[in-house]
Amino acid sequence: MKIALPTTEKDLDSPLDSRFGRTSYFLIYDTEGEIFRIVDNQQILNSPQGAGIQAAENLAREKIDCLITVHCGPKAYRVLSAAGIKVFHTDESSVRMALEAWKNGKLTEADSANVEGHWV
């Protein structure tokens, strides 16, 4: 199972980025083999509009199964839902702690966005 988390740095102890579409990186964690890799989000971070939509499209292309994120807006949520990607909200501070909480069943699957969208 592949899990994506928005991060500000490039390892398991990185703080989670509170932004989804405009995160610095995504850490993609594979539960098979417990390995991870980093996807740079720089290009999307700097796009004038639709960052959440593009980030969600990217995760769909990466064949991600679930997303653990601090925030997720309504447009991104629509794309993630259409791609069948499950969304879990967390307020854990690091990637490692968020993954731990997820493994221990402490995170519940979101059925909606948890922040308002931007107008553009």
Partner 1 sequence: MLKVTGCSETVQEICSPISALLQRDVNGADTMMIAVASGKGGTGKTTVATNLARVSETEIYLLDCDVEEPNDHLFLKGELKREVKVNMPVPTVDTSLCNGCGECSRLCAFHAIVSIGTHPLVFPELCHGCGGCVKICPTGAISESPREIGTVSTYQADHVVLIEGRLTVGVSLAPPVIRAVRDRIPPGKTVILDAPPGTSCPVVASVRDADILLLVTEPTPFGLNDLKLAIAMARELSVPHGVLINRVGVGDSRVHDYCQGEGISILAEIPDDRRIAETYSTGAMVIDTLPEYRAIFQTLLNDLLTGSFGIRKAT
Which residues contact partner 1 (rule: CB under 8 A)? Answer: 49-50, 53-54, 57, 60-61, 75, 78-79, 82-83, 117, 119-120
Least separation in angstroms between residue 82's CB and partner 1 is 6
Please give the C-alpha separations between residue 116 and each of 33, 39, 42, 58, in angstroms, as whole numbers: 36, 25, 23, 21
The smaller minimum CB distance to partner 1, of residues 7 and 54, is found at 54
In the bound state with partner 1, the residue whose beta carbon lies nearer, of 6 and 52, is 52
Shortest distance (Å) from residue 90 CB to partner 1: 24
- When the beta carbons of 75 and 92 are compared against partner 1, the nearer one is 75
Closest residue by Cα to residue 10 from 34, 35, 39, 31: 39
Half-sphere exposure of 26 (CA within 13 A, CB side): 29
Distance of CA 49 to the CA centre of its chain: 18
Q: How far is the CB of 35 from partner 1 (least distance, A)?
A: 25
